[in-house]
Structure 1
Amino acid sequence: MRTNRSLIVLLVLALCVSVACQRKPTQVDNKINPQFTVAVAPFTVATEPWELISGYLPDHTVPPKADALDELDAILIKSLKIGPDRNVVAGNKVAGCMQSVRKPADATRMSTIKYWQEVGKCMEAQYLLVPVAVHWKERQGSAAGSTSPAWVILDLYLVNVKTGGLVNHFRYDYQQKALTDNILEADKFLKRKGQWVTAADLSREGIEKGLKELGL
């Protein structure tokens, strides 16, 4: 009984701290004209630093396997706000352009973003969303208890096809922790119903947050 009371007090304190420290969310200024075409590339894996348009490649990363990439693509497409007021192109068309555009011969970041710019031109798009999976570590254990929590690192790049410049970059680097290790995340703990989630669950949270920050 004492343990349950302690846990309840801990949760209440965590929520109070979370609310007190929470800032008013920043308004995203979506500068992308809805009449423009946004092409969405499938997830690729970065195993070398130059394969990232921006950012860094951590040490000892575990790249996702093919089935995990398919799951990431499905989560991304489902999370995108596709409607009559937004021209979003994804799937086989973009994959076809990725195959037809010549891969960079030199291993530099400039050649990498140039490659993606050409893919966007092939799609006749004004913007290209480039999602990259850096690290994918699945949960060891079950929802009730995990000996090694899930951990994912994802990068979302929004490229201006005309200029070849990087409009925005969002990185999601997250490993689930126990409530006692991070009391400030009590809201996430409650949202996940106190369970240990999978790498796909974490990816969904990260992708939804990233798309919002990118204005997509």
Structure 2
Amino acid sequence: MKYRTLIQLALAVAAVLTLGACQQITQGPRPLPEQAIGVAQFTQPTHTWDLLAGYIPDGQPKVDDKVLRDLDESFETLLFRQTKRRYVSSGASTRCLEMDMRKRNGSTTALETWLDVGRCMKVDLLIVPHILAWKERDGGDMGTFIPSAVTMDIFVVDIVKERVSARYHFEETQENLASNLMNFDKFMERKGKWITARQLAEEGMRTGIKELGL
């Protein structure tokens, strides 16, 4: 039985390596220009008018504020480690967003809100991250009943041109290797463990930073 299992695993690894060898290497996005860039706090859109794009999945519970602030910390740490830029921090965006909400009497679009926040922060570009769906794992790193799941958007809002210039969408529920052999690289990076939702979101952030040219 052990011999058969080893053969199956070896075949699975060979299949994944073969598929990886056939993939073409593509050039990454052009880096963003050297401009003043701000980072907004993580928020969870609850209405369609809160969205810059996309949609809100049905039946999503409210994400705890501490989770969002932890994600702010993770995102700014990764930006500092992976890029050579200086960013106006999410702390400034929090104050500007609160000021904007107080001064508005009627409804407004998400783009108008974040443009005002960017102007308040005195930046040319504003990175706006949203959490759309969040499910924490039920279990531990070696075994879980319910895996982590995260849906996240990261937008680049051009404050000068008054438009959304780029969007990165991340949506993943962790799967075991038997369910999807294409996850072999992730399986190895995660050392065969079931990760937390925050760790899953951080994986999305790392890829988003590259995809957006930050």
TM-score, normalization by structure 2: 0.90
CA contact (8 A) 1:104 1:112 kept: no
For residue 204 of structure 1, the aligned residue among 185, 202, 205 is 202
Indicate whether 1:77 and 2:76 are aligned: yes
> 1:6, CA displacement in angstroms?
3.5
Match in the other structure for 1:159 = 157
Give per-residue Cα distances to partners, 1:94-128, cap 9 Å, x unaligned: 21111112357226xxx210110011111110001
Contact 1:18/1:185 (<8 A) preserved: no
Aligned to 1:96: 95
Alignment pair present for 1:44 and 2:7: no
Q: Which position in structure 2 is the counterpart of 1:66? A: 65
Aligned length: 211
Give yes or no for contact 1:42–1:73 (8 Å, CA) kept in 2: yes
The structure-2 alpha-carbon separation of the partners of 1:2 and 1:60, relative to structure 1 and needing over 3 Å to count, comes to: farther
Q: Tell me how far 1:153 sits from its aligned partner.
A: 0.6
**Deviation digits for residues 131-182 of structure 1, max 9, x if unmatched?**
1111110011111111111000111111000121011011111000111111
For structure 1, the residue ranges without an aligned partner over 5 or more in a row are: none
Structure 2 distance, partners of 1:42, 1:175, is 23
Task: Tell me by how many angstroms 1:22 deviates.
Answer: 2.6
- Taking structure 1 as the reference length, the TM-score comes to 0.89
Give the corresponding residue for 1:175: 173
> What stretches of structure 1 move > 3 A for 4+ residues in a row?
81-85
User: 1:11 Cα shift?
Assistant: 3.9
**Whole-angstrom CA distance in 2 between matches of 1:63 and 1:26:** 38
Aligned mates of 1:5, 1:87 — CA distance in 2: 49
Match of 1:192 in 2: 190
> Sequence identity, in percent?
30
SS of the aligned residue for 1:80 comes to: helix
